[in-house]
Amino acid sequence: MEAFFKLKIPTEVFHIINGFSPVGEETVSLEDTFGRVLSVDLTAPEDLPDFFKSTMDGYAVQSKNTFGATESLPALLEITGEVSMGEAENIIVESGQAVKIPTGGMLPAGADGVVMVEYCSLLDEKTLEVSRAISPLENTIQPGDDFKKGAVILPAGKRLRPQDLGVLAGLGFLEVPVFRKPKVAILSTGDEMVPVSQNPTPGEVRDINRYTLGALCRNMGAVPVYMGICSDHFEPLKEMVEKAVSSADIVWISGGSSVGTRDFTLKVFETLPDFELLVHGISISPGKPTIIGRTGAKPVIGLPGHPASALVVAEIFMTRMLRTLSGNMDARHDVHTVKQAILKRNIPSSGGREDYVRVRLEKDGEHLKVVPIFGKSGLISTLVEADGLIRIDMNTEGLYEGDEVDVMLFSHV
């Protein structure tokens, strides 16, 4: 039971995870930047927008000519031209003049605002009646209103969303420097494991972790590299781990749920060059037998063998790890959305460890209720039923019906 005293608590584990570095940089075309993480601060090479434009269909005027205009006492202006979309017209708006302009059109020189077409009527082809005053700059966007030349538009570490691509497009970024997607070597161990394509004989099981962990990687913007299944023996495992280390940025071994294999995993890790053991067991349930180490700068992870436990540990810790390796430093991008809701049943808990309990959200009239999913923790079906997890602190004996709890929604939908 000596190992018990070496268990790390989750906050220590998160701290260790934050100590890893992004895996490297590359340049991708704007098209491919959605969901990618910027590797440098980007600054505006020009003003956005870079000309003075109308935000309405109407007439470009000198605003002072409209001051005091009302429906009963309209201002009268002479129409001297029309702006075409996409053109910088060679027109000057003098006092007393108006030029027709479409939404997005470039304001002609002399004009400092736009009267909406709704407040204009034509007395004749050349004479405009304006029934409402505008203030200077009204219904316009000035150069640099979005971003001024030289301003930081998006910071390094930002995961790019549709609107972020929009700004990059507006400023003409055809290629964008981003962090590489981390490559995750996924390796399942166990003499009982067979590939999904094979019919298991009694006592054998299909390799579930390859698919659950692979999907979780893809959801986090990482690239799974499937190494296959390894039997519970030292030499073949060592060989496969070495291959995994050389072909990926992080290695995940799941399995080793039997005592013997658990030992193998760590023993194999210890043969890796420049190996350091960082975590040997975490005081959580499920997920206690998790191993985190590094070979040089590269993390190597031993996950539990039970598919359900492996996925819960990956959801809690490996999502954070992938975020760190991806260079994602966006404080506004939490890995998990947290929702508050009312617990519908008591949940007992043993002290001395954090419990992560699978829960379902249920609408109950106006309120959102949290229903714990009981059932054997080794069953993958409990995760199929679940919408997320709730954490039970190690210093409590459980949670009570009616408590408001934080539900950590799964990182995927």
d(CA 60, CA 99) in angstroms, rounded, equals 5
> Could you tell me the smallest distance in angstroms from the CB atom of residue 307 to its own copies?
5
Q: Is residue 203 part of the contact set for its own copies (CB under 8 A)?
A: yes
Q: Is residue 287 part of the contact set for its own copies (CB under 8 A)?
A: no
Q: Is residue 177 part of the contact set for its own copies (CB under 8 A)?
A: no
Query: Looking only at residues 21 through 80 of this chain, which bind its own copies when binding is defined by CB under 8 A?
Result: 30-31, 34-35, 48-51, 55, 57
Query: Binding segment for its own copies among 15-23, 90-98, 384-392, 397-405 (CB under 8 A)?
Result: 384-392
> Could you tell me the smallest distance in angstroms from the CB atom of residue 152 to its own copies?
11
Query: Backbone phi, then psi, for 72, in 5-degree steps?
Result: -80, -20
What x-and-dash track marks residues 79-108 binding its own copies by CB under 8 A?
-----xxxxxx------------xxxxx--
Nearer to its own copies (CB atom), residue 168 or residue 292 = 168
Q: How far apart are the first and last CA of the chain?
A: 39
Query: Binding segment for its own copies among 12-20, 70-78, 119-127, 200-208 (CB under 8 A)?
Result: 200-208
From residue 41, alpha-carbon distances to 44, 293, 331, 341 in Å are: 10, 31, 15, 38
Query: Binding segment for its own copies among 119-127, 213-221, 290-298, 346-354 (CB under 8 A)?
Result: 213-221
Nearer to its own copies (CB atom), residue 274 or residue 332 = 332
Query: Binding segment for its own copies among 10-18, 345-353, 373-381, 391-399 (CB under 8 A)?
Result: 373-381
Q: Is residue 205 part of the contact set for its own copies (CB under 8 A)?
A: yes
Q: Is residue 258 part of the contact set for its own copies (CB under 8 A)?
A: yes
Query: Looking only at residues 219 through 248 of this chain, which bind its own copies when binding is defined by CB under 8 A?
Result: 219, 232
Query: Binding segment for its own copies among 66-74, 204-212, 239-247, 272-280 (CB under 8 A)?
Result: 204-212
Count CB neighbours of 205 within 10 A. Answer: 11
Q: Which one of residues 74, 190, 327, 372 is an interface residue with its own copies (CB under 8 A)?
A: 190
What x-and-dash track marks residues 5-24 binding its own copies by CB under 8 A?
--------------------
Size of the site for its own copies (CB under 8 A): 98
Query: Binding segment for its own copies among 5-13, 63-71, 74-82, 155-163 (CB under 8 A)?
Result: 155-163
Nearer to its own copies (CB atom), residue 207 or residue 354 = 207
Give 43's strand partners. 152
Q: Is residue 408 part of the contact set for its own copies (CB under 8 A)?
A: no
Nearest partner of 186 among 18, 322, 380, judged by Cα:
322
Q: Which one of residues 311, 347, 399, 405 is an interface residue with its own copies (CB under 8 A)?
A: 311
> Could you tell me the smallest distance in angstroms from the CB atom of residue 165 to its own copies?
4
Query: Looking only at residues 339 through 368 of this chain, which bind its own copies when binding is defined by CB under 8 A?
Result: 339-340, 361
Q: Is residue 145 part of the contact set for its own copies (CB under 8 A)?
A: yes
Q: Which one of residues 259, 273, 365, 395 is an interface residue with its own copies (CB under 8 A)?
A: 259
Q: Which one of residues 130, 154, 244, 313 is an interface residue with its own copies (CB under 8 A)?
A: 154
d(CA 78, CA 99) in angstroms, rounded, equals 8
